[in-house]
């Protein structure tokens, strides 16, 4: 292998400077949110997946040359999740004004974050799937199915993590707030977010 070929291969796996800035900002925000969370055990459980998948995110960024917007939207979601982990989703005090204003029976911050999972992460998954499928519309449909599947699987993993690591946290960690259909509703709003994202990206592709 000659030197020029090595440089080309190395360049393929370099992360753009703009992406590095996003990662640095996210890590700084994560550190701030890790300081004195409301419930340390709950914070730890909420961040297990973050600690596992952040290195994977960087790897995928390098491998698939993801767009700035895909990474930006992904990290916006990650920060919102971090805020929920810091305060706990059920006791997100900065969301109480909406609960009081509209007379909701529960804090809906978790619902909003689940919705944004489908909306904000759609482009991230789409770019990876399109890399393999190479047909844009088919990729959109497949991405929608992936988001729906991950949303449902996450609810199962969340329950499993609570049952294995801290069963005493129970509904506090899961954030059900007395709603027996909480997992199903969280999955539904994530699917709605993915549906909106798929329509937007489909129409954007059609107008090109």
pLDDT for the residue numbered 155: 78
Within a domain: 66: yes
Give the three-state DSSP class for 15: coil
Does the pLDDT at position 152 exceed 70? yes
DSSP string, 69-116: HHHHHHHHHHHHHHHHHHH-GGG-GGGHHHHHHHT-SS--HHHHHHHH
Number of other residues whose CB lies within 10 A of the CB of residue 180: 7
CA distance 194 to 189: 9
pLDDT at 28 over 70: yes
Residues in CB range of 109: below 8 A, 6 or more apart: 84, 89, 92, 95
Each residue's pLDDT tens digit, 4-27:
444 444 454 578 999 999 999 999
Q: Is 2 a member of any domain?
A: no
3-state secondary structure of 12: helix
Check whether 80 has a pLDDT greater than 60: yes
- Count the domains in the chain: 1
Residues 112, 147 contacting (CB under 8 angstroms): no
Does residue 34 belong to any structural domain of this protein?
yes
**Element spanning 174, H or E:** helix 171-174
Is the model's pLDDT at 52 over the cut of 90?
no
* Mean pLDDT for the stretch of residues 103-132: 88
Q: pLDDT of 172-206, one tens digit each?
A: 444 545 555 677 888 999 999 999 999 999 998 87
Share of the chain above pLDDT 70, in %: 77
What SS3 class is residue 166? coil
Distance CA 71, CA 86 (A): 22
Residue 162's pLDDT is: 61
Tell whether 148 is covered by a domain: yes
74 domain residue, yes or no? yes
Is 9 within a domain?
Answer: no
Higher pLDDT, 139 or 165: 139
DSSP letter assigned to residue 38: S
Residue 64 in any domain: the answer is yes
Contact 189, 115 (CB under 8 A): yes
For residue 183, what are its two tokens? 């997992």
CB 140 within 8 A of CB 198: yes
pLDDT at 98: 66
Can you tell me the distance from the alpha carbon of 149 to that of 108, in angstroms, rounded to the nearest whole number? 22
Look at residue 178 and tell me if it is in a domain. yes
Print the domain residue range for 20.
16-206
pLDDT tens digits, one per residue of 111-125: 889 999 999 999 999
């Amino acid at each position: 292998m000659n030197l020029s070929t090595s440089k080309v291969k190395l360049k393929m796996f370099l992360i753009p400077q703009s992406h590095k800035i996003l990662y640095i900002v996210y890590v700084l925000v994560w550190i701030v949110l890790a300081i004195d969370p409301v419930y340390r055990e709950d914070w730890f459980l909420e961040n297990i997946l973050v600690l596992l998948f952040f290195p994977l995110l960087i790897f995928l960024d390098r491998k698939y040359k993801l767009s700035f917007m895909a990474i930006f939207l992904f990290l916006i979601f990650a920060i919102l999740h971090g805020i929920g982990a810091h305060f706990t989703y059920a006791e997100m005090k900065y969301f109480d004004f909406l609960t009081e204003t509209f007379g909701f029976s529960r804090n809906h911050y978790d619902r909003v974050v689940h919705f944004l999972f489908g909306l904000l992460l759609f482009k991230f998954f789409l770019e990876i799937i399109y890399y393999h499928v190479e047909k844009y519309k088919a990729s959109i449909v497949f991405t929608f199915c992936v988001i729906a599947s991950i949303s449902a699987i996450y609810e199962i993993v969340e329950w499993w993590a609570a049952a294995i690591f801290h069963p005493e946290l129970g509904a506090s960690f899961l954030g059900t707030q007395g709603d027996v259909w909480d997992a199903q509703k969280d999955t539904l709003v994530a699917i709605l977010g993915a549906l909106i994202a798929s329509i937007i990206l489909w129409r954007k592709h059609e107008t090109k």
